[in-house]
Amino acid sequence: MRKFSFLPQIGISSSRFGIASLLTAAVLLSLSQPTQAQLGKMIKKAGAAAKDAKPADAAEAAKKAEDVSAATKKKNISIFFSKTKLSSATPQYTTEFQEGDNIYARIVFPKPIKEYLSGNILTFDVAYKQQGDDDYSVNYVKIDASKINQEATQLDFDVLAKPAEATTRYAQFMQAPSLIGMVMQHASPGKKEEFKWKIEDLEGSFFLTMKSAAGFTSFITPIQQKANAFKQDDDASQADLPGEFAEKSYAFNDPQLSKAAIIKFLPANAQVLKFVVGPGDDYKVMKNELGIILYKQTARYIMVAYKDKTSGNCYYDNMIFERPYEGNGKYGSLKVRTNGERIDCSKIK
């Protein structure tokens, strides 16, 4: 904290009462009595004012102290960080972390968590910069708050948690481990990287230093993998089975598009749970802007829901088959494109 020094008030001592004082006395003697009386009153008032006045340095110091106090109150430190998983016991907060340290966080809200959500999502603005840089770059981290107590005023969450201790479900791709991993790829070993977290006027910061790029990558990779797995679990729990699965299933005229033939294009360990083909023509011909035939593709939807017997996870795929045009009215072998997603197995009925 900056220190301020105060200069003492300066008065006139008897040793300094010399020529200037004698000149003043001579001037007073040359004045009329009424004028002397009036001037005497003015001098008394000035003396009283000088006695009550603070030195300029003291006034300036008081103002600066007020400014510092106001700035401190405005900066609401409400997000704290720790190297160990937080519990109800007395937490050990810190702002300094090295490569290999796990990072856990706690945010304390003045109001219930629900007041800070948007569609069950808690969004942190995360600003970061390297030691010595002037400007911050800003990104965000989103946490899925659909399964937490939204009436609470405190939330513990993972930043770089041990994989075995991780519990936080992130709402979008930019998870905390992904963001930190991306930032540290461009950091300099031995230099602090500051991460400033903020929600509205609630904030908190920590500093992270890595020893080497290779070492940090090795440290953070399993943490990122665990966070990704949580994200996939969260996506699966929110996914819904498309309505086409409730419709009547039809068969293709092309024998190469029989149910058995289509299933062969799925992963080898897939257990088919639902299979449906829409009505319509088998194929539609695709041409370029000049009208030249490029290929033909299936004109019906093909929807398959299946379980991976190895992982136990369930998925659904929309499968599109194509045949490249080879000329003279002939088409080549079937190729397949798929798009779909993982889904909670309980939703496939």
At 74 the pLDDT is 53
At 286 the pLDDT is 97
At 15 the pLDDT is 38
Instruction: Please give the Cα distance from 283 to 298 (Å, whole number).
Output: 4
pLDDT band at 26 (very low <50, low <70, confident <90, very high): very low
Residue written as tokens 């990779």?
221
pLDDT band at 266 (very low <50, low <70, confident <90, very high): very high
Instruction: Please give the Cα distance from 256 to 151 (Å, whole number).
Output: 57
Residue 154 has pLDDT above 70, yes or no: yes
* DSSP 8-state secondary structure symbol assigned to residue 154: E
> Are the CB atoms for 293 and 334 separated by under 8 Å?
no
At 204 the pLDDT is 97
User: From the CB of residue 141, how many other CB atoms can be counted at a distance below 10 Å?
Assistant: 23
pLDDT in tens, 162-219: 999 999 988 877 799 999 999 999 999 999 999 999 999 999 999 999 999 999 999 9
pLDDT in tens, 47-93: 444 444 444 555 554 454 454 344 444 567 899 999 999 986 778 99
Residue 279 has pLDDT above 60, yes or no: yes
At 1 the pLDDT is 38
Of the ranges 122-126, 172-176, 209-213, 292-296, which one carries the lowest mean pLDDT score?
172-176
- DSSP reduced 3-state for 52: helix
- Provide CB contacts within 8 A for 198, sequence distance 6+: 79, 124, 125, 126, 127
Residue written as tokens 């300066």?
10
Nearest one of 129, 320, 139, 303 to 208, comparing CA atoms: 129
Token pair of 241 as six digits: 């089975």
- Provide CB contacts within 8 A for 157, sequence distance 6+: 104, 105, 106, 107, 143, 168
At 163 the pLDDT is 95
Do the bridges between strand 137-144 and strand 121-130 make them parallel or antiparallel, or are there none, so unpaired?
antiparallel
Q: Tell me what the mean pLDDT of segment 241-265 comes to.
A: 95
At 7 the pLDDT is 34
At 45 the pLDDT is 42
> Are the CB atoms for 316 and 343 separated by under 8 Å?
yes
Of the ranges 9-18, 99-108, 117-126, 282-291, which one carries the lowest mean pLDDT score?
9-18
Residue 115 has pLDDT above 80, yes or no: yes
Q: Tell me what the mean pLDDT of segment 241-264 comes to.
A: 95
Q: Tell me what the mean pLDDT of segment 219-232 comes to.
A: 91
What b-and-e string marks burial along 208-238, b requiring 16 or more CB atoms within 10 Å of the CB? bbbeeeeebeebbeebbebbeebbeebbbbe
